[in-house]
Structure 1
């Protein structure tokens, strides 16, 4: 059972949330993501992809705040999705020392930059906002271990796609995990760039 092999604090949080058994995508996907490979995770809507993203992110960080530079980044489509993702993370990180920060287009970029500099472990953002931060040297990627993208179908939008391609070129080394309902041609194209040798987990 994937949950049994996760960090004790995660198991405790799952118990508090009364989540007792993994969904199919969590059962198949979590062990592959934990291996450190780049992964395409595909499953139907409400299949448990977002929870898999949160659990594997927290597993990677082991609930320990380290330094000031983000060690994991989570990309989403827009402000609404960013705030939803933040709320979902807080269910697991409340009463811990992990620092989760959320940014989006409507929040002033200088505000985001100064707040991120104070220290974050998980950075939730949109590709467009994150790319702006990169261009302003507002995010240090030297400690980055993992970049996950939730409901990645939105990358069909040209601005988001272009921003992600720019971001990927600024990152020297990290694990990329894309979550979607299916691998469409846009997402498949990433295999030629930052998703090389990616494993595919599908339900």
Structure 2
């Protein structure tokens, strides 16, 4: 997929950043993500996994719509969430998309109140997202994309079980898992909510 097919605000942002052509990974996956495919994406650090997530989410959502989030991105910790939020904010100029970070160190009642006012993209640590969900503080009924960035963290501190609970509670959705290398522990997902997932291996 070339950048010519992106929405105008994204094209303008990429031009401002001096990014003229897609990286090899972006050429391979952006059109598939746009088409709705669920995927496991394995690629080395620096290959453009995070920028691919950001571009794909903004391209799909385009602008603010309703109050419930339409994209959920799981990350390992607070700092990763805040860093990703900054990256999103630098790419979403020209749109009115709303990004919110949910992480364990912040007061959960404050987070519940802030989410109530509406957001399009939630970047969350697994444990905090599930606490918010089971407190009925976040509505996932409108979710279109569920993404795990740098998913190696899933295999520590019960994160895999926390993330697996989310698809069990929502309807049809596109799932994207990004990692630096394959892991056999993803296999059970291919028997459940990611049973039609494509595998893209750039290693």
Mapped pair 1:7 → 2:11? no
Mapped pair 1:137 → 2:136? yes
In the other structure, the counterpart of 1:115 is 114
Displacement of 1:153 in angstroms is 1.1
In the other structure, the counterpart of 1:82 is 81
Displacement of 1:2 in angstroms is 2.5
Q: TM-score, normalised by structure 2?
A: 0.95
The alignment partner of 1:65 has SS state of coil
Q: How far apart are the structure 1 equivalents of 2:94 and 2:110?
A: 25
In the other structure, the counterpart of 1:54 is 54
Q: TM-score, normalised by structure 1?
A: 0.95
RMSD of aligned Cα (Å): 1.2
Displacement of 1:114 in angstroms is 1.0
Q: CA deviation digits over 1:31-54, x for unaligned, max 9? A: 111110111111101100000000
In the other structure, the counterpart of 2:197 is 198
Q: How far apart are the structure 2 equivalents of 1:162 and 1:196?
A: 18
Give unmatched runs, 5+ long, in structure 1. none
The alignment partner of 1:132 has SS state of helix
In the other structure, the counterpart of 1:33 is 33
Note the 1:18-29 alignment, pairs <5 A: 18-29=18-29
- Count the aligned residue pairs: 202
In the other structure, the counterpart of 1:183 is 182
Displacement of 1:93 in angstroms is 2.0
The alignment partner of 2:91 has SS state of helix
In the other structure, the counterpart of 1:73 is 72
Q: Is the CA contact (8 Å cut-off) linking 2:72 and 2:123 kept in structure 1? A: yes
Displacement of 1:116 in angstroms is 0.6
Q: How far apart are the structure 1 equivalents of 2:7 and 2:93?
A: 16
Q: CA deviation digits over 1:7-40, x for unaligned, max 9? A: 1111111001111111111110111111101111
In the other structure, the counterpart of 1:166 is 165
